[in-house]
């Protein structure tokens, strides 16, 4: 199975798994998902290895044969499946798809491609090596190499190392110790995270499958996202505005920090995403929050002023490639309009800020244009603002002149950027 159709990979995979008759066991479904994602995440390198031995480029082969070759090599090269097993299954699949005449080719190409050492490949430019070795689109590789040079290789490698799942304890309902016990009783491995109310958890299945999740005792939130929400230093009784709030993760963390007291307004431009926030609030018992549709780049006087304003803006997502494999293949052609929108949102956000308020800007990208450059532009136009250093910074995060940057190979988290702005 491989993604030959457009669409978000997780949705494509779910739809395909649902079609299986009889339904796959949990173990088989996990193995199928492993092949699917590995093929997707290593596609350029896989194709490059296969191309050394196919008569025409892999992209020009029949779709089923191409998918069988890619998935076969993914298993042999990256999933520890013994080569004979990967080859035999691939040959069987080719026959099952009516491609009997290609079975011999599949056999031969897979055996040779699996033995091929890609380190022997030479590339005219390092950025081309980066793109192929780490299966990134040319555009994504160019951005990473432009901003980080040789360090881009370590960043791209880190996207393959999925660390722990971090969760945020819902302090409106439970405490760190009690939730640790509850999750352990449900078969999870739990360790304390780097700061209070943060736990590192290994779940036996999906976190959402636990009773603790259904009871609203936690939400899943990466370290860098927790950090961004905590940078608002939202407190009980304050008025807090989350301008780009869906699906609501940072709103939840702020509502918990507010002890559910005060006013939290969680807005998002996309109507269909608002129920995600509403459901999160209902599940976690957040009553200080209200949800509304709103374009964060347009001023809405009726909202009034706020002590805290969070702009967790839409971005290129180059920091979360590890979690969202589709981002590897982005062309980034809409980047300049995204950058303009981000600046508009930031410039608009300041109009809601009370005199002594705090504005937080965050992205899940590591693209300098969407991060440091945006804050520099903002501060040039608003000299009454300065960047405030966060009180505590996790290991590996870099506090710079324009904000705090998480690079995945240094922080073992998503790539992320957060800037705290206050009036001088």
Ligand X SMILES: C[S@@+](CC[C@H](N)C(=O)[O-])C[C@H]1O[C@@H](n2cnc3c(N)ncnc32)[C@H](O)[C@@H]1O
Q: Which stretches of the chain bind ligand X, using CB under 6 A?
A: 225, 243-250, 268-270, 273, 295-297, 312, 314, 364
Closest approach of Cβ 52 to ligand X, in Å?
Answer: 40
Closest approach of Cβ 147 to ligand X, in Å?
Answer: 20
86 is in an annotated binding site: no
Closest approach of Cβ 190 to ligand X, in Å?
Answer: 23
In angstroms, how far is CA 418 from the centroid of its own chain? 15
38 vs 297, which CB is nearer to ligand X?
297
Helices and strands (H, E) in the chain, number of each type: 17, 13
Closest approach of Cβ 299 to ligand X, in Å?
Answer: 12
256 vs 268, which CB is nearer to ligand X?
268
d(CA 156, CA 351): 38
> Of 188, 288, 315, 364, which residue is the catalytic one?
364
248 is in an annotated binding site: yes
Please say if 364 is a catalytic residue: yes
80 is in an annotated binding site: no
Smallest CA-to-CA distance from 373 within 412, 346, 411, 410 is with 346
CA angle 311/317/323 to nearest 5° reads 120
330 is in an annotated binding site: no
245 is in an annotated binding site: yes
42 vs 308, which CB is nearer to ligand X?
308
312 is in an annotated binding site: yes
d(CA 144, CA 318): 8
Helix (H/G/I), strand (E/B), else coil: 136: coil
d(CA 423, CA 354): 10
Instruction: Provide the Cα torsion 363, 366, 367, 373; round to 10°.
Output: 70
User: Can you read off the two tokens belonging to residue 311?
Assistant: 């702009």
CA-based end-to-end distance of the chain: 57
268 is in an annotated binding site: yes
295 is in an annotated binding site: yes
Query: What are the DSSP E strand ranges found in 313-415?
Result: 353-363, 385-388, 398-400, 403-406
Count of beta carbons in the 10 Å neighbourhood of residue 404: 24
Helix (H/G/I), strand (E/B), else coil: 223: helix
d(CA 375, CA 229): 18
Instruction: Provide the Cα torsion 312, 313, 316, 317; round to 10°.
Output: 20
Smallest CA-to-CA distance from 13 within 320, 276, 326 is with 326
Closest approach of Cβ 204 to ligand X, in Å?
Answer: 25
Can you say whether the dihedral through the CA atoms of 347, 350, 351, 355 is positive or negative?
negative
* Contact by Cβ (8 Å): 222, 198: no
107 vs 347, which CB is nearer to ligand X?
347
106 vs 280, which CB is nearer to ligand X?
280
Name the residue with tokens 């722990």: 164
135 vs 348, which CB is nearer to ligand X?
348
Helix (H/G/I), strand (E/B), else coil: 365: coil
Closest approach of Cβ 251 to ligand X, in Å?
Answer: 7
Closest approach of Cβ 53 to ligand X, in Å?
Answer: 42
* Contact by Cβ (8 Å): 176, 194: no
247 is in an annotated binding site: yes
217 vs 296, which CB is nearer to ligand X?
296
Instruction: Provide the Cα torsion 255, 260, 261, 262; round to 10°.
Output: 40
CA–CA distances in Å: residue 217 to residues 167, 207, 214, 227, 281: 10, 11, 8, 19, 12
Closest approach of Cβ 314 to ligand X, in Å?
Answer: 4
133 vs 297, which CB is nearer to ligand X?
297
Annotated binding site for S-adenosyl-L-methionine: 244-250, 268, 295, 312
Binding residues are: 244-250, 268, 295, 312
User: Looking at the annotation, which residues are catalytic?
Assistant: 364
């Amino acid at each position: 199975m491989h993604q030959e159709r457009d669409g978000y990979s997780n949705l494509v995979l779910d739809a395909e798994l649902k079609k299986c008759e009889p339904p796959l066991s949990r173990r088989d479904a996990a193995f199928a998902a492993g092949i699917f994602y590995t093929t997707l995440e290593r596609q350029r390198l896989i194709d490059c290895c296969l191309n050394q031995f196919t008569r025409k480029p892999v992209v020009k082969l029949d779709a089923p044969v191409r998918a069988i070759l890619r998935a076969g090599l993914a298993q042999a090269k990256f999933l520890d499946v013994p080569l004979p097993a990967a080859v035999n299954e691939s040959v069987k699949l080719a026959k099952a798809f009516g491609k009997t005449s290609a079975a011999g080719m599949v056999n031969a190409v897979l055996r040779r491609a699996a033995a091929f050492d890609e380190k022997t490949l030479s590339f005219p430019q390092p950025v081309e090596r980066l793109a192929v070795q780490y299966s990134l689109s040319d555009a994504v590789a160019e951005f990473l190499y432009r901003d980080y040079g040789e360090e881009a290789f370590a960043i791209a490698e880190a996207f393959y190392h999925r660390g722990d799942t971090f969760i945020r304890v819902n302090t409106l309902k439970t405490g760190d110790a009690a939730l640790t016990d509850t999750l352990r009783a449900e078969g999870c491995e739990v360790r304390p995270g780097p700061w209070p109310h943060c736990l590192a958890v290994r779940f036996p299945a999906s976190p959402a499958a636990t009773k603790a999740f259904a009871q609203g005792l936690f939400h899943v939130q990466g370290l860098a996202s927790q950090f961004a929400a905590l940078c608002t230093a939202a407190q009980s009784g304050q008025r807090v505005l989350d301008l780009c709030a869906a699906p609501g993760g940072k709103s939840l963390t702020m509502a918990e920090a507010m002890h559910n007291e005060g006013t939290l307004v969680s807005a998002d431009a996309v109507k269909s995403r608002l129920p995600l926030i509403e459901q999160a609030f209902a599940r976690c018992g957040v009553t200080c929050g209200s949800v509304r549709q709103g374009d964060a780049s347009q001023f809405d006087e009726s909202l009034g002023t706020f002590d805290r304003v969070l702009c967790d803006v839409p971005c290129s997502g180059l920091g979360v490639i590890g979690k969202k494999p589709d981002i590897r293949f982005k062309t980034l052609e809409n980047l300049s309009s995204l950058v303009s929108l981000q600046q508009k949102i930031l410039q608009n956000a300041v109009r809601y800020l009370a005199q002594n308020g705090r504005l937080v800007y965050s992205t899940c990208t590591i693209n300098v244009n969407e991060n440091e450059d945006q804050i520099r532009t903002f501060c040039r136009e608003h000299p009454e603002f300065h960047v405030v250093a966060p009180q505590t910074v996790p290991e590996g995060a870099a506090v710079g002149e324009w904000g705090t940057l998480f690079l995945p190979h240094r922080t073992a988290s998503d790539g992320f950027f957060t800037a705290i702005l206050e009036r001088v």
